[in-house]
Structure 1
Amino acid sequence: MFIGHFKMLAEIKGFYFAYDKDENKCLTKIIWADKEGINNYKLYGDTILFYPTYGTNKYFMVFTLFTGVNHNKKTVTFAAGLLEFESQESFEWIFTKFLEAMGQHQPQCIITDQCPGIKKACPNIFKNSVHKYYMWHIMQKVPEKVGRAICNDTNFMTDINVIVWDVDLEPEEFEQLENRCLMRTTQRSESSNSYFKRFESHFGTLVEFWMRYNSAIEQQRHSQRQMDTTNEHSMLEKVGPMKVEMHASLVYTHPIFADFQKEVKHAICSMRVGGLTTQGIVEYHDVRAGLKHRNFRVEFFIQTNESKCACKLFERRGIVCGHILWVWNGRQVYKIPEPYVLARWTKKSYRPIVQDETGKVIEDIDEADIKKAEMSKVWSEIYANVRVMDMVKQMKQLQKTLK
């Protein structure tokens, strides 16, 4: 029934699925991606997060998600799947099928946990992608490396997190602070570090699981449409005198514009000139910032407004740093140069022109898809209510038996 339902969905243009069975014809692997998920990957698939969870159904298959971050800084789902085993072979299979669904377009970066099977499979399939680990997963291993006693000290964990997450530290500063933190006297604390825990649910059939998954996806996409409406029909207030801020408010979504405004405030409140030299068409600005009055070198190309900063915020997050904004303001750059407005962060990024293999334009979501989604949500709610009614009947029968 589960596979039959997917075959029916495959008849709807744009839905992809693949599966595999063992010698007993039992399902061992399956992956699926609908049209909207595939289109989202074209927009936001530069970095993907692959995350396996456990015990999602009574068959104890591993549930896997391929997700990313959209223009509103929210999680967006590209594809999902189920695996019987966490083996290298299983992960290579699902990675291969994922790329097949996404037109063989590899992401720039894939982020995973440190599962041995994933670690071996990633370089074999994502050959053009950088493989990184979740930061929280790395920090989980701190107790194993430095000892439980010192990690039970809340002050130690606070200090080490400040050091690790400070992106402005130079390598020498990082090593000095790390050594100072590790050498300090250990103090006991009643509080302990808490980490992310997975919650398991073993009672669902695959059909029940699919209905819950579909309902969750529709809720995710409904929230997305609401945020897009807000982006289109409202604007956030300016926080400073920089004219470039007005341009940013027109092109960026609200969450990204809020991040941009933080850099504006940073430029206005904590930056000053540290020095200026000119070599031909390039100006080198030393911008002093923060309480430490740290110098950041900004290269500004006079003819093109091209700018590069030593902090590399734009390279990391795709928005211009306050150091560059400070230079732009002084050089009367009132509009963000086109290379510095990444399409993935703009209000219009969710309305791409999508083409199939022949070059024919495909609409993102037609009216039929919306109606199907609404009906799916209705049936999900009906099914949930039926289950509640069954449970009530069982409780009443139990009460009669006890009497």
Structure 2
Amino acid sequence: MNSFFDGYVHAKTNLKEFVDQYDNVLKKKIENENVADFHSFNLTIPCISRSPIEKLYQDLYTNVKFREVQIQLTGTIDLDPVLHRREGTVKTYLVEDEVRVEDFTKQVTHSVDFNEEDGVAKCSCSLFEMRGIVCRHIFAVFKCNGIKTMPQQHILDRWRKDIKRRYTLINSSYDAGEVREDANRYSSLLNICYKMITCAAGSKKHTEDATTKLHAMIDLYSET
């Protein structure tokens, strides 16, 4: 949050100044994202391997996020997953890795659960849960299982270069015309969703029902 406001919003401001400065921050962030998206479409970062998984991320992700994926992919070189146990379709691997802490390096063992049925994997390092990027431990397990593509659960829409960023539809004072109309529709739907979430979240049954219906609506509106 501090880095988001850095250079635009100062500590000693009144409410009106804060609102004006926040508006400038939002405008600048949108401009930066638009520039980044332009470069993602017009400048291609070359792949460093023949991996079809790397090529997939190159095609789908913005350049910034693709670089992060590449860092994880290159980190698999020294990793050698060891099968620890198997329960049904789920195989659990232990992956030894080195972690640098200040001036010394220590050995850490991570656990990766890999489901052969749907190809989904979960690692104890929680990089994907925290930063939305598949970790090198999962990539290493995929490699030793001959996985050539990625399940949709490991491809996040928020990093894709072909999907418009939703926060560009947040109302701002510099919006006009069609942009403001889009923002108004977005805000209206968002308010309705907040009310629905508040009602549904108190019940497991309602949450599951809402989740199913929302996924169906996403599929429906994505086709139009």
TM-score (norm 1): 0.36
Scaled by the length of structure 2, the TM-score of the pair is 0.61
Matched, 1:271 2:79: yes
TM superposition shift of 1:238:
1.5
Which residue number in structure 1 is paired with residue 114 of structure 2? 300
In the alignment of these two chains, the number of paired residues is 163
Match of 1:221 in 2: 30
- Per residue, is there more strand in 1 or in 2? 1
Q: What displacement does 1:292 show? A: 3.9
Report the CA distance shift for 1:241/1:214 in structure 2 as closer, same or farther (over 3 A): same
- Which of 40, 64, 67 is the equivalent residue of 1:231? 40
1:247 aligns with 2:92: no
Bigger share in helix: 2
Q: 1:61 to 1:216 in 2, by over 3 A?
A: closer
* Corresponding position of 2:94: 286
SS in 2 for 1:267: coil
| Cα displacement (A) at 1:299 | 0.6
Quote the offset at 1:55 in angstroms: 3.1
Tell whether 2:149 aligns with 1:327: no
Q: The residue matched to 1:260 in structure 2 has which SS? A: helix
User: Which residue pairs with 2:12 in the alignment?
Assistant: 55
Q: For residues 24 and 123 of structure 2, what CA distance do their matches in structure 1 show?
A: 44
C-alpha distance in 1, partners of 2:144/2:76?
Answer: 11
Q: Is contact 2:53-2:150 (8 Å) kept?
A: yes
- CA–CA distance in structure 1, aligned partners of residues 94 and 179 of structure 2: 54
1:317 has 2:131 as partner:
yes
Distance 1:297 1:368, change over 3 A: closer
Which amino acid is 2:92 matched to? Y
Aligned twin of 1:258? 67
Q: 1:343 aligns with which of 136, 157, 175?
A: 157
Judging changes above 3 Å, is the alpha-carbon distance between structure 1 residues 367 and 342 closer, same or farther for their aligned structure 2 residues? same
Question: How far off its partner does 1:333 sit?
Answer: 1.7
Greater relative contact order structure (CA < 8 Å, 6+ sep)? 2
CA distance 1:62–1:338, shift in 2 (3 Å): same
Q: CA RMSD in A?
A: 3.3
| Structure 2 counterparts to residues 63-102 of structure 1, below 5 A | 63-64=17-18, 81=19
Q: Distance in 1 between matches of 2:24 and 2:131?
A: 31
Cα distance, 1:247 vs structure 2: 0.6
> Alpha carbons of 1:277 and 1:238: their partners in 2 closer, same or farther (altered >3 Å)?
same
| Whole-angstrom distance in 1 between the partners of 2:39 and 2:30 | 14
C-alpha distance in structure 1 between counterparts of 2:179 and 2:90, whole Å: 52
For 2:46, give the aligned amino acid.
E
Tell me: CA distance 1:313–1:215, structure 2 relative to 1, closer, same or farther (3 Å): closer
Tell me the distance in 2 between the aligned counterparts of 1:234 and 1:286: 38
Deviations 1:106-137 (A, max 9, x none): xxxxxxxxxxxxxxxxxxxxxxxxxxxxxxxx
Q: Secondary structure at the match of 1:289?
A: strand
Structure 1 runs not aligned, ≥5 long? 1-48, 65-80, 82-209, 356-364, 371-403
